[in-house]
Every structure is written in structure tokens, then in C-alpha cells.
Structure 1
């Protein structure tokens, strides 16, 4: 046996439903995502997802840098509707800190249903009209940056036994910057054996999902998502920071017919959902579950005191429940000391729900402190 004996995910994102715009198909399109590798290793493999698609997707050709990816020794690679596939493993001299470009070309008319919006200093890709999957660079006149991840779901490395993955699971707050800052913070602290795998979808809820095209991009409910999104090689623990959309979305059909007040959960609903859908799954699969408290919402457009009371009650349970293996108090890290229902000065992005860049860094620092105290070997 060689030095590299264990498959561990080095990068990942969720698969959701792309925003339902006028154009839902693409043709003759190349997409490239730079993926930062966390570990040394000898092989890599790539998972593509068409989980939310209703038509098969054919990837004419795909590459990890200049090494072609195949499925059962063949190209093109086909991702059946509603399925995920993993490419054949390829020999690859992977180095920690290296950036690998995953490029793929969609030759035929392709349904672009399976996509997730993600931001952060380690995130983002580029698309180009035409076949440039093998090109060293895209032509400037025919390419644009994108924060949408289509089809690419996970990248695994065959690496050392000591390495493991940590999943950050949540909604738009986790789909934004703090998981990337957490990875950078761990690197700076010399914690090199943990890869941060983001599984987050903007607008998603624990208990419910939207089936109307207006809000389909808000993704699948927790019951559906969690078992799929914790399918991560080498996964050791999950940070669960989820539930704020269950609290802030319902407004009543007289305001928005898709958001009835009957969707408004009680504390017992939220607690029971997390216990049944998340904690029981973690226990069955030998995963540590860490809670992440919900952030301030004072000033958000649907803010009401009863919503904040529910958030505070839920947060107190997240801090104290013995069902978790620990709590990262994100709320405490970003709230105002004198008025804890709102963000601290400089920590509000401006919408009174999503944090600023500085607040995301504070969240990452709180998470890194926790990881260093609880996961460092």
C-alpha cells in the first residue's frame, strides 16, 4: 500500500435549482471552475450532479487541467435526469494549495436546471461561448465570470489517512463568504488536514420547499437535501447553520400567495425537524454535528418581534442541546453588544439579514476557534 489510501473530498457545493429565468437552455458553452486542492494526493475524481434536472445532460468533454475525465472509460459523460455521477478516478499529482481547473464543454442544447449560487474569495468560475475546454485561457471577447455552479458538485482526492472533510450546511448566509474564509483561516493556523465542503442553497428551509418557479431556486427542503449533501468522502463533522428562512418567509397569502402564514413553524417544529432530519442522520452515520446559531434580523423587511423571539428560543436550544457535539455561536460573533437583536456596527451588509464581508470574517474566526479546539489532532 502506498502513502495515499483514503478518498477525501477537497471541494464541494450543493446542487439546487437554478434561477428560473426566460432562458433555461445553453448550447456550445464551456464552463471552467478553478478548484483549490487542500491535500497532497495521487488521484482525483469528480462528481457531477443533475439532481434537479428533468432531462439528461451530456458533457461532450471534461478536463481536470489537461487530464481528460471519463465515465466508465467513455466520453461524452452523461448525467441522467435526477441523478449524480462520479467520473473514473484519474492519476493526478495533487499538491495542497494547488489550483486545478475543472473545465467542461456542453456541445448540445442542455437544460441548465442544476445550479447553485455561491460567493467567496475561493469561489467563482468563467463561461465562454464555444469549445474551449482544452484551451489554456478563454478568449477575452467570448467569456464572462459567473458565481453560479452548474453540474460540478464535488472533487475528491486519494490522499493520506489523516485528512478529513468538514461540511458547512445551510442557506444563503453559508452560500456566501464565511466557509471560504474558514478554509483560509484554518490554513493560516496550520490546520492542513481539514477540507471545508460547502453545502448551502440561498433561500432553503428546513421544513418546506417551494414548487412555484418564482422561488424554485430556493431549493429542496432539509429532509431531501441533508442525506444527499452529506454524501462526502472522508466526512467527519457537519456545521449546521439553518432555519432562518423558515422564520422570515411566511407573510400571509394576502401579501404573497406563495408564502402563507400556515408555513410559520413553532419552536417545536424547528427543534423536531433538526432532530429528526439532521441529528438522527448524523448519529446513524457516525458524524459529529455542530450547531450554528442564527444571525440577527432586526430591520429585515419581514422583521417582527414574534419572529425574533422564535429565533432567540431556537438559538438557546442550539447552544444547549445535548444532541449536538458543540455549538458555534455565530449570533454572538456578529451581534451588537448593546442591542443584540441587530448586527454590530459594520457587520450588516445593508439588508439587515446578510452579513458584511467583515462579519463573514468574524464568523469564520469563530468557526476556526471552535474547530481548533474541537477537531485539531
Structure 2
């Protein structure tokens, strides 16, 4: 099968993340560093292309070299990832770039390893921390980008995906991407469980593309360095993160941070009460920032209800009232193609403002692994069975 095989007709994203400032401490630099990210390919195809992001970096980042190799193959054959035919390329500060097309035959279920080597001092300020044990990468001191194994004494695992933003596969017309857009809750395992469900129990032609940044809000963003890692507000994130090749739909699970963050300047100068939205503010924001642009892109749009917050440190009855009324709109609004009721799936049946006992991660805000599985199960089959 060749790259020009007529069975393959379009690009579809098969893996994706988002980009934010990665740390809330001092800016971190690395030198003589290899990053390696294993990614499961969900579609068969004849070539790959890669999006690299330095969206939140303030300095250009030079990738000395980058490679893609199939994991577990009898013979490890790293293929160079290039940009404008160059093996070394620069990701400008505040920008994203797309690689050249890489001819490589992949099958559904293959794992490819993307390795990047950075020889010079590199600002490590653009990436996303994933809060799941089901997806991780590795870093190693030294140049191991073309090596099959990373040395145990010089490498460690990491949950931060630096610079690698999206992988597209040139594949069959039947294949599609479904975007999961949100905050730290979407950085957890429910998109991974949904991906497994789509691969095993669906028709195998829908990828799950995670676009999630911890701490983000629909209506506001922090411009102070204290909370830089909480990311861009919806109007700045969405135009960038919604660009997903082959996407047919999007699940929007966003808004809880808008409700829980404001505490008043007497408590925290960066979190004034003026940031506290009304229900109508949230509704208007979702419609203008998410639904209307998504419709223009031809996407089906699914809402997802906000999870319980009883017991969270800023919980009060006023916040709970906003959450419940906003959820009711998400459930009933004709602006969406449907609603996924995550709240109902994980809440206590006798005390609806709380998680069920085994669905709380322990902080009364984030769901447990069991709850993440229930959330993935709650997604209608029509979204993963085209």
C-alpha cells in the first residue's frame, strides 16, 4: 500500500492535547534533553503529520531533531520529522507549526513514539499536564532521540506533554474526530476511557481529541504570573483548539472554574467578586464563544453538565445555585445537539450537590477513576458509532 492509495482520502486527527503555561514557578530551561511520547494510533493510514506548539512560550524553541518510530516493531526504524525539509526547526514564540508529511504505514492499534531532542537551552513553557495514569511521556538527559531504549539511569516519566500538540493521519473517508474540550476534569481519564470504548466497542472510526487545560475559565483569564498556568479564556482558546482535522463534533465541559474561583480581593487580590458570573453570563458566553463558532465549522455540539462541588473549599449555596441553574440550561437548551449528563452519572442520589462516595477523588471537585469511567459510559453511542 502506498501513500497515494485511493482508499486514503483525508487527514483526521488521531491524537491531540492543548497548550498552556506548564508551571506556576520560575520559568524553567532545559539543555541536552530528549522528550519521548508514545501515542496509540486509532486509524490505519499512509502518512502522519505533527503540530508543534509554543503558544505560551515567550522565546523561540529550536527542535534540534525529531523522530517517529513504531513501538514494538521487530526492527526499530526512527523516521525523521521535518519542517520545510529541514531536520532541525524552530517553533516561534506564541505560535504553532505543522511538520512536513511523513510517509509511514500505520494500522489501528499501533503505537508510535515521537522523540524530540533539544541541544541548546530551551524554555520549557509550553505544554499541558495530563492528570491521568493512562497517558504519559518520558524525558532523558542527553541525545537519545534515535535510540530504541532510554537509559534507566538518565530518564524519568512525565505527565507533561511539551510542544507536541496534535498528530494527524492520512486515512479513510469514514474516519472522524470528536473533540473533548474542557479544564482539569477533562485532563483526567474520562477521555481515555472514551477513546478505549470508541476503539473497542464503537465502529473504530472515531478518535478522541483532548483539548483541556487545568484551571481555565470560559469568561476570564489570569494575566498575573501567580496563575499563568490556568490558561487562556475561552475566546482565546477556542479558535486555536477547535482546529482539528476531520472533526465532526465537540463535547463542551467547561465553566466550573468560573463559578468556584472568585473569592474577593480581601482574600485574594487576583480573584475579585466582579469575576463571579451570573447564569446568564455563562449561557451567553457558551453560545457566543463556543456554539456559534462550532456551528460555522460544521461541528455537532454536545453540552456536558458540571459536576458536584459540595465540600470544595469555596463551596457555598450561591455558587451551587448558579451551577444547578446552568446545568438545567445545558440539559434543556436547543442550542445543542444533545446533553451528556455527567452530573447525574456521578452524583449522590440522595444528596445531589455531592459526589457519590466512590466518585469523589477526595477534593470534592475532581472525579475519581471510577467516576471517569462512568462519565465515559454516559457519552451516547451515536458520538462514537458513525
Return the TM-score normalized by structure 1: 0.98
CA distance in 1 between partners of 2:205 and 2:133 (Å)? 20
- Structure 1 residues 56-67: aligned runs within 5 Å: 56-65=60-69, 66-67=78-79
* TM superposition shift of 1:20: 2.9
Aligned residue for 2:74?
none
Corresponding residue for residue 176 of structure 2: 164
Sort the Cα spacing of 1:223 and 1:92 in 2 relative to 1 into closer, same or farther, 3 A: same
Instruction: Tell whether the 8 Å contact from 1:292 to 1:328 is kept in structure 2 after alignment.
Output: yes
- CA distance in structure 1 between the partners assigned to 2:307 and 2:290 by the alignment: 20
Of 112, 120, 129, the match for 1:117:
129
Counterparts of 1:86-105 in structure 2, within 5 Å, are 86-105=98-117
- Gap runs ≥5 in structure 2: 70-77
Q: What is aligned with 2:189?
A: 177
Deviations 1:157-203 (A, max 9, x none): 00000000000000000011100011012222143000000000000
1: CA distance, partners of 2:378 / 2:321: 24
Q: After TM superposition, list the pairs within 5 Å mapping 1:242-321 onto structure 2.
A: 242-321=254-333
Secondary structure of the 2:161 match is strand
Aligned to 1:21: 25
Partner of 1:52: 56
Matched, 1:34 2:38: yes
User: How far off its partner does 1:374 sit?
Assistant: 4.7
Distance 1:317 1:179 in 2: 23
8 Å CA contact 1:36–1:122 kept in 2: the answer is no
1:218 aligns with 2:213: no
RMSD, matched Cα? 1.0
Pick closer, same or farther for the CA change 1:279–1:23 going to 2, 3 Å: closer
Is the alpha carbon distance of 1:359 and 1:152 closer, same or farther for their aligned partners in structure 2, counting shifts above 3 Å?
same
Report the Cα offset of residue 327 of structure 1: 0.5
Equivalent residue number for residue 72 of structure 2:
none
Q: Deviations over 1:340-359 (max 9, x none)?
A: 10001210000000011100
Displaced runs of 4 or more, over 3 A: none
Answer yes or no: is the 8 Å Cα contact 2:61–2:90 preserved in 1: yes
1:149 maps to what in 2?
161
2:371 matches 1:376 = no
1:328-375 deviations in whole A, cap 9, x for unaligned?
Answer: 0000000010001000121000000001110000001101xx1x1355
- Structure 1's unaligned 5+ residue stretches are none
Q: Is the 8 A contact 2:27 2:123 kept in 1?
A: no
Task: Please say which of residues 18-27 and 279-288 is displaced more in the overlay.
Answer: 18-27
1:340 is the counterpart of 2:349: no
Q: Does 1:3 align with 2:4?
A: no
1:314 alignment partner, SS class: helix
Contact 2:198 2:207 in 1 (8 A): no
For residues 67 and 61 of structure 2, what CA distance do their matches in structure 1 show?
Answer: 16
CA contact (8 A) 1:26 1:112 kept: yes
Partner of 1:357: 369
Partner Cα separation in structure 2 for residue 230 and residue 270 of structure 1: 19
Paired residues of 1:120 and 1:181 also in contact (CA < 8 A): no
Helix, strand or coil: the match of 2:283?
helix
Alignment: residue pair count: 374
TM-score, normalised to structure 2, is 0.95
Task: State whether residues 52 and 82 of structure 1, in contact with CA within 8 Å, keep that contact through their aligned partners in structure 2.
Answer: yes
